[in-house]
Structure 1
Amino acid sequence: MADCEEVFFAADERCSRRKCFYLLLCVVALFLLSFCWYGVRRTALCSHMAIFCSSQTSTRSSEDAFQLDLMKDVSLERRTDVLMMTPWLAPIVWNGSYNIDILNAQFHQRHVRIGLTVFAIKKYTVFMKTFIETAEKFFMVGHKVNYYVFTDRVKEMPNISLADGRQLVVLEVPSYKRWQEVSMRRMEMIRDHSSKRFINEVDYLVCVDVDIKFTDEVGVEILSDVFGTLHPRYFRAPRERFTYERRKASAAYIPPDEGDFYYAGGYFGGTVEEVYMLTSFCHSEMMTDKGNNIEAIWHDKSYLNKYFLYHKPTKVLSPEYLWDNNMGVPEVLKRRRSVIVPKNYNAVRNR
């Protein structure tokens, strides 16, 4: 009986081994079959993708190809001598902090149109020729630009040939007796034309003083939803030295323990919608103060700084974009992209 059991168990063990062998053989066969199928599918897929990519490459615009090529070698300068980012993570634009070729490709692809606003009121028309000539050489070269010139002396506008895609639009406006009034009324005029005209003609507005000249490249690197420019005199000064409006009775009031930067009044901008909101705020606050017989210490600049305190700009321009040569040239200033033109204020104001 024991011998029979041994024979039975031996036969059963051989049967189990045979089953395991066949099962293993099936697994190996399935593995080989799957591997072969995957290889065939991969070859076909690669072949299909090669044809697809080839087709896409042949139809891709030269602009897109150029942009992709640029991405292969992007070297940006990492500066430690200046602040490159605001506490709210908005970039501060300094030389070397961007690749203009990549940015140009992006903005060309979007067919962006830029409006540049200036006010040539009274004798400030004498600055127009230099302003336009230097802008044609350095400002947004290769992009579509509308020069919007607000003036009370239309006949004094210079006749200057402009590059293709650029035009001079003269907007006749009333004059005012006091230069302070002229300065503050700018916000109202930009606001009104933003809603009536600019919104239909351009995508971005750059609002600058006419008594500057461009001396180096100013391109699409400055464009953002809303941007301001660090004042050349105060960009390294502590908050205590900022000349904010400190009278509590004024709508431009900023408390002593508040304030991020001191922004120049003659260089700001953004999308037309954002510029409309900025100028609307400033004009409204000016009218509030005027009703209370108050005039902010630095006029429209005081209200602009109040706006930027509570409506943070999405980009901040370094003093490279607005410099005063009377202050010398600090080591951190690698380029001077636009500078204030020396002038006799008594000769051009209130005349």
Structure 2
Amino acid sequence: MAYQIQTYNQIAEAGLSLLKDPYEINTVQNPDGILLRSHSLHGQTIPSSVKAIARAGAGTNNIPLDNCSENGIVVFNTPGANANAVKELVLSCLIASARNLFEAIQWTGTLAGTTNVAGQVEANKKAFIGHEISGKKLGVIGLGNIGSIVANDALALDMDVMAYDPFVSVDVAWTISRNVQRVHQLEELLSSCDYITIHVPLSEKTTGFIDTKAFRAMKKGIQFINFARGELVDEPSLIEALENGTVGKYITDFPNDQLFGLENVVAIPHLGASTSESEENCAIMAARQLKMFLETGNIRNSVNLPNVSLPLTSPGRLTIMHKNIPNMVGQFSTLLAEREFNIADMLNRSRGDWAYTLIDIDNKLSEDQAEDILSRLHNIEGVVKARHLPNGWS
């Protein structure tokens, strides 16, 4: 049986090439999986056949996560695949901002059509004298895949680095240099740093995270860089901080009508992850995660379910997405025992309101037996989607 994949946007061939036979790309109306980048699925009917959606990128605000969970759809992203691309642009903008390159290049462009360009350059270059970043203090808000490597590489540029992230993961913590100064109060970072870059995921809790209170805590003339999400910054507060000189320069990858054309705002057209290497890395990771889930039921880098991995060695596997409520696993075990199906291995993990269970059985199920089991599983209150994978294939 072929797996059918619907794609949106232009997905790098390096990723699509992983989905060979028995995969079919963009040939049907009822796909098993969706592979996309920035295309928005909000307001769009997602076919009931869809089992998983893989986003070739980190942010998933273009995907209706609650709706997907309610319908048993696993949503993946690709954390870290574009981290190097974003890091390089952040550090480029940091240096460019310190040396007034944005203003200098813009001014040089005004010389088109004039004469004695070399003389004008020599006469006016003093207006663009900048600063060296060596010895300056950079504040990094958020130590995820991007923030952590920005912090480490800023140290290599001889900057003093201060970081704030109360929720840094253990895996990332091991990668952060001991010379990065961790602080437990955001205000300490805001009041101490010459430059600040933010790398925090967007959520209901972080929308408007940098507000009037945060700006008032910053040093006068701060250089603020935002390659995470525009909504993390409260725009009325930002505009006020620009007008009173608290923010000397705001560099954002998310220009909009309110910010466009404002003095001391450098608007970049969402180029953070726009490199050929990043697009390939994201496509490869997304395709691998989608392929692994469809073939084995294992989950890695889901945003609505926990990571779950169990080697598939038994004749058959049941995958069950369900509400995180008591006695679900007990009901699954009882159902299988009543039909004399032996459980060879089992793994159950939860994340918030949702849970996911893998059950490997010693029995090789016939098509009728599989349909019966799946029907009975779906009749258990709280189960949203169950699948049978004989030898790893549904």
User: TM-score, normalization: structure 1?
Assistant: 0.29
Q: Which has the higher contact order (CA 8 A, sep 6+)?
A: 1
Could you say which structure has the higher helix fraction? 1
* Higher-Rg member (1/2): 1
Could you say which structure has the higher strand fraction? 2
User: TM-score, normalization: structure 2?
Assistant: 0.26
